[in-house]
């Protein structure tokens, strides 16, 4: 059984009844728009529920697929706020429409602009921070994330296997190097308890244990 088969199996296990999520999954498939997918979405929902998060800050939110998973978790935790951040006004408008349809708009704050700058300005601290920005921006984002994440909070970083390219010593592309460096920074930081979960394209999950 190869990695693609395992991911397919996980996706099948994560069969869910939510019609809006299913529609967004189909839209992403047809347009080849990158989303975290159902297996990773369910995992993010689980982590958010486990830490009883009331505040989630997303760095890079696309048209709101991952945001929906986080918002559903925050709702089920009793309420709170999820911060949706994208560069593109069109993506933000689409996300707003989806959340109005889902009846979850009151749980989401929408921001258009550079996500790390938005996090730097945000009051914080946050219970969960999800990082899915341009991969070359990962290393520089870590100090801001660490400052804004509460002790006991969880950082989730997407695309940390990079379709297996991080394992290829001959791949020295800047994006691959940035992902390797970010992984090393998190795993070598004594203030984080990290692991790498091989769901979809790999999620690094790290709990902050000290300031």
Q: What is the pLDDT of residues 124-174, one digit of tens each?
A: 899 999 999 999 999 999 999 999 999 999 999 999 999 889 999 999 999
Which pLDDT score is estimated for 4? 76
Decide if 158 contacts 132 (C-beta within 8 A). yes
Confidence of residue 11 (pLDDT cuts 50, 70, 90): confident
What span, in angstroms and rounded, lies between the C-alpha atoms of 80 and 98?
18
Decide if 142 contacts 114 (C-beta within 8 A). no
Q: What would the pLDDT profile of 18-60 be if each residue is shown by its tens digit? A: 999 999 999 999 999 999 999 999 999 999 999 999 999 999 9
DSSP assignment string, 10-46: HHHHT----HHHHHHHHHHHHHT----HHHHHHHHHH
What span, in angstroms and rounded, lies between the C-alpha atoms of 186 and 4?
26
Domains defined along the chain, listed by start: 3-132+142-157 (3.40.50.150)
What span, in angstroms and rounded, lies between the C-alpha atoms of 52 and 167?
34
Whole-model pTM? 0.95
Q: What would the pLDDT profile of 160-196 be if each residue is shown by its tens digit? A: 999 889 999 999 999 999 999 999 999 999 999 999 9
CA 18 to chain centre: 19
Residue 94: helix, strand or coil by DSSP?
helix
């Amino acid at each position: 059984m190869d990695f693609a088969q395992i991911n397919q199996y996980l996706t099948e296990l994560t069969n869910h009844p939510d019609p809006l999520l299913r529609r967004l999954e189909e839209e992403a498939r047809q347009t080849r728009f990158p989303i975290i997918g159902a297996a990773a979405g369910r995992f993010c929902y689980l982590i958010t529920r486990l830490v009883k998060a009331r505040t989630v800050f997303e760095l890079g939110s696309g048209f709101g697929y991952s945001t929906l998973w986080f918002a559903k978790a925050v709702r089920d935790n009793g309420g709170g706020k999820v911060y949706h951040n994208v560069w593109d006004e069109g993506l933000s408008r689409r996300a707003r429409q989806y959340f109005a349809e889902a009846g979850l708009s009151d749980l989401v704050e929408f921001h258009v602009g550079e996500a790390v700058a938005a996090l730097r300005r945000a009051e914080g601290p946050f219970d969960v921070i999800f990082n899915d920005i341009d991969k070359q921006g990962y290393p520089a984002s870590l100090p801001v994330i660490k400052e804004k994440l509460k002790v006991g909070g969880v950082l989730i970083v997407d695309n940390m296997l990079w379709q297996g390219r991080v394992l290829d010593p001959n791949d020295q592309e800047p994006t691959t190097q940035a992902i390797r460096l970010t992984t090393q920074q998190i795993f070598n930081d004594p203030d984080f308890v990290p692991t790498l979960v091989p769901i979809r394209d790999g999620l690094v999950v790290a709990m902050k244990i000290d300031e």
